[in-house]
Structure 1
Amino acid sequence: MQPLQKIKAVLMAGGFGTRIQPLTNSIPKPMLPVVNIPMMEHIVNKLKRSGIEEIVILLFFKPEVIQEHFGDGSDWGVQIAYALPDEDYGTAGAVGFAREHLDTTFMIVSGDLVTDFDFAEIIDFHRRKASKLTIALTPVEDPLQFGVVITDETGRIERFLEKPGWGEVFSDTINTGIYIIEPEIVEYIPTKGAYDFSKDLFPKLMQEGIDLWGCTIEGYWRDVGNPQSYRDVHKDIFSGKVLYDLPGTCARKDGLVLCLDDSVKLPPSVTCKGMVIIGKDTIIAEGVTLEDCVIGEGCVVGEETHLKASVLWDRVKVGEKSYLNDSIVCNDTTIGSECTIAYGAVIAEFCEIEEKVKVIKDVTIWPHKHVEKRAVVSSNIVWGESYKNTLFHKGKVVGTANVELTGEMAVKIAEAFGSILQEGSTVFVSRDYHPSSRMIKRFLLG
């Protein structure tokens, strides 16, 4: 039997991460931190433990971030080569672009995947079946958003169905996007043009009479595709649903899992519940409550602040007596004292939230935004640099069209104004020639 270390791995790391923005504003999705470690670093460590020491990383979006982090792979005990396609060739096409590196059996894994699968089990299945191409399969409760696969009793694949409706579902076993492939299969991938595994390569191989095999494996598997799934992954780690590497020195006692970098010293008055992970050089003040949360490197959390089910990236500062619930706060953001950041909020990098701000449930604040003190942020802040605590100034309503002064805001102003008028009152509305003024006037009259 060929030794495991002779198998290579191909990590797919070229996606734009559009659905998970603004988390991917400055870093590619595989580099998003999960418990303070980039997702792809977890995968690299897992491959190393499975005996795979040669890795090819397929790049596209912000390739320099990945290359600078991993280098040649020696810090992880592996050898890393990189392939950077000159255009989007699709999943299989990108692998074909790296064909010069693929001279032996190789495993394909997505770099933005969170899983505790036993890779060695998949490799062993592939060898026992003398397979040319093996797909790792796993059962899920809701298969509608995935590609469903049906096999015979031996594991030979009989049929694929991409993202079926309930009336089409014939199996709860899905394609995880983890493949083991023999090098001769690469010859079926065109050297130019977009080519997809599920839509193009797999049907082609089946037409050619090449058996595809499905290895059904139990364990945790999640594709991190949007901010909610990013939150859910952390909740699953907090609850112990997934077996995952935790950073720092971890202590477990009476239901508490506390993982601290050696540089972190917690005051006696700090309360920790559930799982708490704190990175290097972070300062936690007196009276803080930490409950199922991750705090990155170089952060500061002020006195009597409460963090619950939240993820703070690096160099985040939170003032005293603030409350963050199920929130994500990205790098280099400052949150003032006595702020409330509600369930599902996302605050991107380099934001400044002044004191006594309330961010309402599920609101997203994009990078480089400034929110004035006492503001109530009830909708996403995407455009503009600042968010005011009021639109009223010296008897006027003042704001940027389509940022503060939206159609929705104009309707609310009209409703408030109408509520104080007597029945039968006459209101004159005029505007200048600008299209934004015409829009605001129409909403006021509506």
Structure 2
Amino acid sequence: MYTAVILAAGKGTKIWPYNSFRPKCLLPIVNIPLVKHQVDRLKQCGATRIIIAAPTEHPQIARLFAGDRNVEVIPTKDSRGTADTLVRVFPENCHEPVWVLYGDCWVDTADLRRLKGLASPGALITPHRETSRNYIGCTQMDGKLTAILGHSRDKTTHHFLAFTLLPQHLSYFADAPPRFPKVDVGMMVPEETFLEAGLLGLMDAGIPIKAIETKGFALDIDKPWHLLEVNTQLALQQCSELRDNQLLEGASIDPSSKIHGKVRLGKGSSIGRNVIVEGNIWVGDNTQIDAGAFIRGNVVFGDHCEIGYGCYIESGSVVGDRCKVLHGAELSGLLFPNVYLYHYMEIAGVVGENTDLGAGTVCGSLRFDDAGTIQRIKGRAETLQDTGLANACYIGDQCRTGVNAVLLPGVKMGSSSVLGPGVVLYDDLESNKMLLLKQDLVKKDWNPDKYGW
């Protein structure tokens, strides 16, 4: 029996505004919750028992796996950190190595398989995509970990995604200190027990830890732009794997459409009049693409969507279930379920669930200086190398915009907020706020006399 543990009990505050209504592990990755991808991949690798450490305030995880005898969801209330969570949910009377996977990361199946069969502790690591100051990182040599440092000043090269741990070593994680012990001088450390501190205990005891570097696409999904990046990458990948057209029961393609690529159409879905597709598309069930829609490149569509009337959708985009993209709307990015885009708007970035954007709403994505917007996460400035991710707009769940609202490059709009008509949003808007435009009006008399009559 192979047992796996998914650590998904964190609060996910850095990925605001998408942490208001769900834990990070339920974020949609090409229209499937991240944790569902993880469970499916662990099963493909041979895991027969999967334990998910979940936050108590989000019962959606338990509902997602209701009836799956291979999955056990354990709520962890008031956890002191990943080490504490691991100790609480670690299977009792287990005598075999256990896989441990962070619940907010994407790892390819082939890389997960490389942890299988290890008889000693091992860590699946991936090169830093951002500054080492953003991670509890490590160095490695000859396939073994040589150092672990917390948010160091450019002293580490990789960070952690998954582990193979042995039951006899659980005490090292139970004894993890309340603050991470290995940091550069002057660094402030939060009061939290980290799994990596348990690894440090193993290393201090002379127990080697095997280092396995990822070969496929891997990403720690920690911030809003990571969510956009992983969806874009996997949409392109999923569509590129299509080799032939796949039309499920009741699916159809109108002869007037022009398709330059391969199409997968779910049950009851259709491509209608004068649609142009330049790439491969993956379409869910009961989705209608009609009336001159222009799909430029590889795009993934969910179930029960309505796409058409001259809309334009850019390559790498993902459209969630029950979305509408109509009447000249342009999209480049990710839509959560039940988002409405219509009436001549341009959306570039991520739009949260149940969001209705008013006519003419525009997300700016290009600055006059051609630079990337400096992002702020919990008040800390972060510079992104990818200007497309830096300048994308990130709109939360249950938002609304008025007619001709403008979001300048890189801004974030908190969940359950409203941007009034004509407002230009320069800075991030907190959740549960309404921002309205204040204007001065001048009223004058006017009549034909003004024209000389």
1:298 corresponds in structure 2 to 322
Are 2:97 and 2:167, in contact at CA under 8 Å, matched by a contact in 1? yes
1:321 corresponds in structure 2 to 344
CA 1:28 to 1:141, structure 2 compared with 1: closer, same or farther past 3 Å?
A: closer
2:168 corresponds in structure 1 to 184
1:204 alignment partner, one of 185, 189, 201:
201
Quote the RMSD (CA, aligned, Å): 3.0
CA distance in structure 1 between the aligned counterparts of 2:429 and 2:211, rounded to whole angstroms? 45
- Residue 120 of structure 1: how far off its partner (Å): 5.2
1:389 paired to 2:437: yes
Matched residues, percent identical?
A: 18
Q: Provide, for residues 154-178 of structure 1, a one-character-per-residue CA deviation record: whole Å limited to 9, x for no partner.
A: x343333333323x45xx3x23231
2:363 corresponds in structure 1 to 341
Gaps of 5+ in 2: 179-191, 248-260, 264-276, 366-391, 444-453
Q: Which amino acid aligns with 1:196?
A: F
2:262 alignment partner, one of 246, 252, 274:
252
How many pairs were matched up?
372
1:358 alignment partner, one of 393, 398, 406:
406
Are 2:313 and 2:330, in contact at CA under 8 Å, matched by a contact in 1? yes
Q: Which amino acid aligns with 1:108?
A: V
- Residue 37 of structure 1: how far off its partner (Å): 1.1
CA distance in structure 1 between the aligned counterparts of 2:363 and 2:130, rounded to whole angstroms? 31
1:95 corresponds in structure 2 to 86
Q: Which amino acid aligns with 1:197?
A: L
Are 1:10 and 1:58, in contact at CA under 8 Å, matched by a contact in 2? yes
CA 1:94 to 1:302, structure 2 compared with 1: closer, same or farther past 3 Å?
A: same
- Residue 80 of structure 1: how far off its partner (Å): 1.2
Q: Provide, for residues 330-377 of structure 1, a one-character-per-residue CA deviation record: whole Å limited to 9, x for no partner.
A: 111111222212232122122221222222222222222233323323
2:108 alignment partner, one of 96, 116, 125:
116
1:236 corresponds in structure 2 to 233
Are 1:28 and 1:61, in contact at CA under 8 Å, matched by a contact in 2? no
Q: TM-score, normalization: structure 1?
A: 0.75
Are 2:15 and 2:222, in contact at CA under 8 Å, matched by a contact in 1? yes
Which moves more between the two structures, 93-102 or 273-282? 93-102
Q: TM-score, normalization: structure 2?
A: 0.74
1:54 paired to 2:49: yes
Q: Which amino acid aligns with 2:97?
A: T
CA 1:328 to 1:187, structure 2 compared with 1: closer, same or farther past 3 Å?
A: same
CA distance in structure 2 between the aligned counterparts of 1:274 and 1:136, rounded to whole angstroms? 33
Are 1:54 and 1:80, in contact at CA under 8 Å, matched by a contact in 2? yes
CA distance in structure 2 between the aligned counterparts of 1:222 and 1:161, rounded to whole angstroms? 19
CA 1:381 to 1:252, structure 2 compared with 1: closer, same or farther past 3 Å?
A: same
1:25 alignment partner, one of 12, 20, 28:
20
CA 1:202 to 1:383, structure 2 compared with 1: closer, same or farther past 3 Å?
A: closer
CA 1:386 to 1:244, structure 2 compared with 1: closer, same or farther past 3 Å?
A: farther
2:387 corresponds in structure 1 to none
CA 1:275 to 1:392, structure 2 compared with 1: closer, same or farther past 3 Å?
A: same
Larger radius of gyration: 1
Q: Which amino acid aligns with 1:67?
A: A
Gaps of 5+ in 1: 1-5, 396-446
